[in-house]
């Protein structure tokens, strides 16, 4: 994650801001939480979402988008 404040030591130019803006959490395809984030988020953030009523076999997924239009996702099944 880049805040846009750091300067590249070789070129002496600012490194453009690059950070996750939104994370959407889903349980079995239904949205259960949204996190709107900013430049203060670390490179490998630890974000916890507490879900009630989950059971074995349920699928949890997270999708994220950043300020440069890139996106990603991850999912897991509760064992």
Which residue range(s) make up the domain with 22? 1-67
Lay out the sheet containing 59-66: strands in order across.
30-36, 20-27, 59-66, 71-77
pLDDT one-digit tens code per residue, 46-57 = 899 999 989 999
pLDDT at 11 over 90: yes
12-33 pLDDT, tens digit per residue, is 999 898 999 999 999 999 999 9
Helix (H) and strand (E) counts for the chain?
A: 0, 4
Query: Cβ distance 47 to 23 under 8 Å?
Result: yes
76 lies in a domain? no
Share of the chain above pLDDT 70, in %: 100
* Residue 77 belongs to a domain: no
Give the E-state strand segments of the chain in sequence order: 20-27, 30-36, 59-66, 71-77
Total domains in the chain come to: 1
We report the CATH number of the domain holding residue 4 as 2.60.40.10
């Amino acid at each position: 994650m880049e805040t846009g404040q750091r300067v590249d030591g070789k070129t002496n130019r600012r490194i453009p801001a690059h950070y996750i803006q939104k994370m959407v959490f889903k349980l079995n395809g239904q949205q259960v939480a949204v996190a709107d984030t900013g430049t203060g988020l670390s490179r490998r953030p630890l974000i916890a979402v507490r879900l009630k009523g989950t059971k074995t076999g349920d699928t949890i997924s997270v999708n994220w988008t950043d300020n440069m239009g890139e996106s990603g996702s991850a999912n897991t099944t509760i064992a």
